């Protein structure tokens, strides 16, 4: 399974965090770190964990300005692509 998608999502969220401030910046950096950590692990990225991350990102996007929300959507597309490579649900 290709963890490059998780790294891509992490980098996209870091870029979005650079453009954000306050709580949104903090939350984006935390999600970026989580994705980078999952990409580095041999195991640990399952559908449930990724669904929770996607849910958190949807909440952040709802509170973010349009350019940042668009970057969050890009990151979510990469997560969805990764989810297509793992077994289960």
Q: Model pTM?
A: 0.93
pLDDT along the chain (89 residues), means of 10: 87 98 98 96 86 98 97 97 85
Q: Helix and strand tally (H, E) in the chain?
A: 4, 0
List Cβ neighbours of 11 (8 Å cut-off, separation of 6 or more).
32
Rounded distance between C-alpha atoms, residue 59 and residue 42, angstroms: 28
pLDDT, position 3: 85
Rounded distance between C-alpha atoms, residue 65 and residue 26, angstroms: 15
- String of DSSP letters for 3-41: THHHHHHHHHHHHHHHH--HHHHHHHHHHHHHHHHHHHS
pLDDT, position 1: 45
pLDDT, position 67: 97
């Amino acid at each position: 399974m290709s963890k490059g998608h998780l790294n891509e999502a992490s980098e996209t969220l870091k870029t979005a965090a650079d453009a954000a401030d306050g709580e949104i910046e903090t939350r984006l950096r935390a999600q970026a770190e989580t994705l980078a950590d999952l990409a580095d692990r041999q195991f640990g990225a399952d559908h449930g964990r990724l669904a929770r991350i996607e849910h958190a990102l949807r909440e952040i996007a709802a509170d973010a300005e349009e350019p940042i929300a668009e970057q969050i959507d890009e990151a979510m597309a990469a997560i969805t692509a990764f989810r297509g490579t793992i077994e289960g649900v």
